[in-house]
């Protein structure tokens, strides 16, 4: 027995310690030395744990800790703009000011996403959001025209208007009924609207999420999968797939992914069935010319054998997620901030009334959207206060200097969008919701870093759907506020904001919806 144990120690444990643990430990002590000047939480006395045990499992409490750290490192006295948390032996460095990002975010050698994104791969595989290097570059070149072409954006206006009208009509069911005052969570209404929009604009598919009413399976599954991924990232024991897949959470993720992949696969198959037909026959028997969409540009690549069906599916999954959830979160948060600031709401109403001359039905044109200067400032300020994507992560590909601090190759850098937006050097009294910061007062790069406001990230890995989203938001919000007033009394603290892939209130935002009272 003794001999057996000795032989196990010699053949398994000893090489494991020498070849695996010792190099990791040496690297860890070197990094601890390199990053000693970056503010951090006190390191745990439990070896190999780092700060993990200080991360509260309640997501909103953990999010509050991150914000506290960000505000500390932005203070004048020790303004490093960086803080570090130790994930076991690995440092996670958070960049929290525009200046700290300047040398990194736009650097073409620093575009690789971090290890955290691999947890999205069971869902999005390596589509545009999660891919790297040559694959990402080729895809980005291929897809960009589908969302940046001005003529295409004009075509999208029709879809934005149609779906916004359905959305506004659905809100009639939330109107105060007699004396009874009831507050409603508008998120299910908003998210089904943005889902209908992205499916029709990018895939020419009518998923009719809004007209099917109630909660939508796709929207629910998206929220659940984001939550599971977030939970897994913070629980290293769940990282190996062979463990995770056997746990209840892993099995639940697999179930939810069946729903999401089922929807995207059906969209592709339906489009493929008619892809080569130039004209198709409508239900009324008329010939209609097809509108070419994003999905067609992918299918054309499949015809020329540049992409496979799986390649197309990963992009459809990516756009169905990024294209609806981020925009829905933005609109929900913007409604919340307008609904809790009556003075801002009055100005939004006044601007929209002036543009549409009180007409509640006329579709919003591109010119109308461009003249919504105040609404534009309100949306920007809302995205500053509650950015839908709280952080994005990259892995340093080479050593670089950030605000005088060397960051070593291989380190995960968190571009902490939420933290950056609360830097009081760039935005005095950052907690205050003040759309005037963005209203008719252009700020120079000397006054505010170009990276101080980055809800769509920045540089060449920025959001490909930015222009699409900005137009969509204006059409939906102007359609809503032409007809209704919103009122909410919850404070931001009460919402228990949680940083997941998309930022979410753990407590649903409840609105009282009323018809506008015209003087
Ligand atoms: C207000 C709404 C939106 C916000 C705040 C937003 C924000 C972002 C951010 C911060 C990133 C960088 C993610 C990262 O580096 O991990 C990103 C990337 C991306 N977004 Fe958006 N997004 C929005 C709307 C959209 C829409 C409508 C679409 C699709 C039409 C879209 C498609 C994408 C894609 C595909 C990427 C990956 C781009 C790449 O890596 O090349 N987004 N978005």
pLDDT at position 518 over 70: no
Q: Is 470 in the pocket of ligand 1 (CB under 6 A)?
A: no
Dist. CA 479–CA 476, nearest whole Å: 5
Contact 237, 511 (CB under 8 A): no
State whether the beta carbon of 322 lies less than 6 angstroms from ligand 1: yes
CA 112, distance to chain mean position in Å, is 18
pLDDT digits (tens, 9 = 90+) for 209-258: 998 877 889 999 999 999 999 999 988 899 999 999 999 999 999 999 99
CA-469 nearest atom, ligand 1 = 27
Determine the 3-state secondary structure of 434 from DSSP. Answer: coil
389 lines ligand 1 (CB under 6 A): yes
Neighbours of 154 (CB within 10 A): 12
Collapsed DSSP state (helix, strand, coil) of residue 95: strand
Residue 330 Cβ contacting ligand 1 at under 6 Å:
yes
pLDDT, average across residues 193-205: 93
For 269, residues 6+ apart whose C-beta sits below 8 A from its C-beta are none
pLDDT on residue 301: 84
- From 95, 459, 465, 467, the mutation candidate for ligand 1 (largest count of ligand atoms within 8 A of CB) is 465
Pocket residue to mutate for ligand 1, from 123, 148, 195, 322, most atoms within 8 A of Cβ? 322
Distance 469 CA to ligand 1 centre (A): 9
Q: At what angle do helices 309-339 and 466-483 cross, to 10 degrees?
A: 40
Rounded Cα–Cα distance for residues 406 and 272 (Å): 51
Question: Residue 425: which residues within 8 A CB-CB, separation 6 or more?
Answer: 74, 97
Among the listed residues 482, 424, 503, 412, the one whose alpha carbon sits nearest the alpha carbon of residue 171: 482
Q: What gap in Å lies between CA 189 and CA 18, rounded to an integer?
A: 57
Q: Cα of 516 to ligand 1 centre, how many Å?
A: 34
Q: Residue 482 and residue 354: Cα distance in Å, rounded?
A: 11
User: What does the pLDDT average to over 487-507?
Assistant: 94
The SS3 assignment for 498 reads strand
Name the residue of 128, 463, 470 whose CB sits within 8 Å of the most ligand 1 atoms, as the mutation to test its pocket: 463
Retrieve residue 416's tokens: 């902490």
Which residues are 486's β-sheet partners?
Answer: 513
493 Cβ contact partners less than 8 Å away, ≥ 6 residues apart: none
- Give 126 Cα–ligand 1 centroid separation in angstroms: 15
Q: Which H, E and C letters describe 273-338, residue by residue? A: HCCCCCEEECCCCCEEECCCCHHHHHHHHHHCCCCCHHHHHHHHHHHHHHHHHHHHHHHHHHHHHH
Cβ–ligand 1 contact at 456 (below 6 Å): yes
Q: What is the pLDDT of residues 369-386, one digit of tens each?
A: 999 999 999 999 999 999
Question: For the chain, first and last CA: distance in Å?
Answer: 92
Q: How far is the CA of 323 from the centre of ligand 1 (A)?
A: 7
CA 392–ligand 1 middle distance (angstroms): 10
Assess whether the C-beta atom of 336 lies below 6 angstroms from ligand 1: no
Q: Ligand 1 centre and the CA of 161: distance in Å?
A: 22
Give the tokens for residue 331.
């609109």
Quickly count: other Cβ atoms within 10 Å of residue 243's Cβ: 11
Phi then psi for residue 295, to 5 deg, are -60, -35
Please tell me the predicted confidence (pLDDT) of residue 500.
87
Largest CA distance in the chain: 93
Considering only CA atoms, which residue is closest to atom 42 of ligand 1? 465
Say if ligand 1 is within 6 A of residue 326 CB: yes
Task: Answer whether 127 contacts ligand 1 (Cβ < 6 A).
Answer: no
55-515 belongs to CATH 1.10.630.10: yes
- Strands of the sheet containing 184-185, edge to edge, are 184-185, 510-515, 484-487
What is the average pLDDT across 169-180?
Answer: 83
CA 319 to ligand 1 centroid distance, Å: 9
All residues at 6 or more sequence positions from 451 whose CB lies less than 8 Å from its CB, including other chains: 98, 99, 101, 102, 105, 420, 458
d(CA 513, CA 148): 35
Ligand 1 pocket member 427 (CB < 6 A)? no
CA atoms within 13 A on the CB side of 455: 21
The whole-angstrom separation of Cα 107 and Cα 109 is: 5
**Nearest CA owner, ligand 1 atom 3:** 326
How far is CA 142 from each of CA 139, 149, 306, 393, 394, rounded to the nearest angstrom? 5, 13, 11, 24, 23
Tell me if 464 CB under 6 Å of ligand 1.
yes
What's the CA angle centered on 496, arms 491 and 498, to 5 degrees? 135
Task: Please name the residue that has the structure tokens 């991360």.
Answer: 55
Phi first, then psi, for residue 66 (nearest 5°) are: -60, -40
Sign of CA dihedral 19, 20, 22, 23: positive
CA distances from 309 to 76, 269, 295, 312 (A): 53, 10, 11, 5
SS3 state of residue 513: strand
pLDDT of residue 434: 96
Ligand 1 pocket residue status of 317, Cβ below 6 Å: no
Atom of ligand 1 nearest to the CA of 143: 35
- pLDDT tens for 308-361 read 999 999 999 999 999 999 999 999 999 999 999 999 999 999 999 999 998 999
Token readout for 253 is 């993720």
At residue 457 the predicted structure's pLDDT band, cuts being 50, 70 and 90, is: very high
pLDDT above 60 (res 519) = no
Residue 322 CA to ligand 1 centre (angstroms): 6
**Which residues are CB-contacts of 503 (< 8 A; sequence separation ≥ 6)?**
329, 386, 387, 388, 389, 390, 418, 497
* pLDDT higher than 60, residue 167: yes
Cβ of 315 closer than 6 Å to ligand 1, yes or no, is no
DSSP state of 439: S
3-class secondary-structure state, position 39: coil
Mean pLDDT of the chain: 91
Residue nearest (by alpha carbon) to ligand 1 atom 16: 392
pLDDT of 282 = 53
Q: Which of 302, 344, 298 is nearest to 317 (CA)?
A: 298
The residue nearest atom 37 of ligand 1, judged by CA position, is 129
pLDDT band at 113 (very low <50, low <70, confident <90, very high): very high
The atom of ligand 1 lying closest to the CA of 468 is: 27
pLDDT confidence bin for 425, thresholds 50/70/90 = very high
- Measured in angstroms, how far is the CA atom of residue 453 from the centroid of ligand 1? 15
Question: Where do runs of H (alpha helix) occur along 75-203?
Answer: 98-102, 121-124, 133-148, 150-170, 187-203
Task: Report whether 226 belongs to an annotated binding site.
Answer: no
CA of 463 to the centre of ligand 1 (A): 4
- From CA 482, how far away is CA 356, in angstroms rounded? 8
């Amino acid at each position: 027995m003794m001999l057996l144990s000795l032989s196990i120690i010699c053949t398994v444990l000893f090489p494991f310690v020498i070849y695996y643990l010792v190099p990791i430990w040496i690297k860890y002590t070197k990094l601890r030395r390199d990053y000693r000047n970056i503010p951090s939480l006190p390191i745990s006395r439990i070896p190999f744990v780092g700060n993990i045990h200080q991360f509260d499992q309640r997501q909103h409490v953990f999010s509050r800790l991150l914000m506290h750290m960000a505000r500390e490192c932005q203070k004048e006295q020790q303004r490093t703009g960086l803080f570090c948390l130790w994930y076991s032996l690995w440092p996670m460095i958070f960049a929290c000011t525009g200046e700290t990002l300047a040398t990194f975010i736009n650097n073409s050698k620093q575009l690789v996403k971090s290890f955290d994104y691999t947890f999205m791969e069971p869902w999005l595989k390596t589509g545009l959001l999660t891919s790297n290097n040559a694959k990402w570059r080729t895809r980005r070149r291929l897809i960009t025209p589908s969302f940046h072409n001005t003529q295409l954006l004009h075509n999208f206006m029709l879809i934005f208007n149609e779906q916004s009208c359905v959305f506004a009509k659905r809100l009639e069911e939330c109107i105060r009924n007699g004396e009874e005052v009831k507050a409603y969570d508008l998120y299910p209404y908003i998210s089904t609207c943005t889902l209908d929009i992205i499916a029709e604009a990018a895939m020419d598919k009518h998923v009719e999420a809004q007209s099917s009413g109630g909660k939508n399976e796709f929207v629910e599954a998206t929220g659940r999968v984001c939550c599971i991924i977030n939970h897994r990232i913070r629980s290293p024991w769940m990282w190996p797939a062979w463990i995770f897949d056997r746990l209840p959470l892993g099995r639940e993720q697999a179930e939810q992914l069946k729903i999401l992949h089922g929807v995207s696969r059906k969209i592709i198959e339906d489009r493929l069935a008619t892809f080569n037909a130039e004209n198709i026959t409508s239900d009324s028997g008329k010939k209609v010319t097809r509108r070419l969409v994003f999905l067609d540009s992918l299918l054309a690549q499949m015809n020329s054998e540049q992409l496979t069906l799986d390649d197309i599916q990963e992009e459809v999954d990516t756009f169905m997620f990024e294209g609806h959830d981020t925009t829905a979160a933005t609109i929900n948060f913007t409604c919340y901030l307008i609904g809790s600031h009556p003075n801002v709401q009055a100005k939004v109403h006044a601007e929209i009334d002036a543009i549409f001359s009180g007409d509640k039905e006329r579709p919003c044109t591109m010119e109308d959207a461009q003249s919504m200067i105040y609404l534009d400032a309100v949306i920007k300020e809302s995205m500053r206060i509650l950015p839908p994507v709280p952080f994005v992560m990259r892995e340093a590909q080479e050593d670089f200097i950030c605000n005088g601090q060397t960051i070593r190759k291989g380190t995960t850098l968190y571009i902490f969008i939420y933290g950056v937006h609360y830097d009081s050097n760039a935005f005095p009294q950052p907690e205050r919701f003040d759309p005037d910061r963005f209203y008719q007062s252009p700020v120079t790069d000397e006054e505010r870093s170009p990276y101080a406001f980055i809800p769509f990230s920045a540089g060449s890995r920025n959001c490909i759907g930015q222009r699409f989203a900005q137009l969509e938001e204006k059409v939906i919000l102007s359609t809503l506020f032409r007809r209704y007033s919103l009122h909410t009394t919850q404070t931001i603290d009460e919402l228990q904001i949680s940083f997941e892939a998309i930022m979410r209130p753990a407590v649903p935002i409840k609105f009282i919806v009323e018809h506008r009272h015209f003087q």
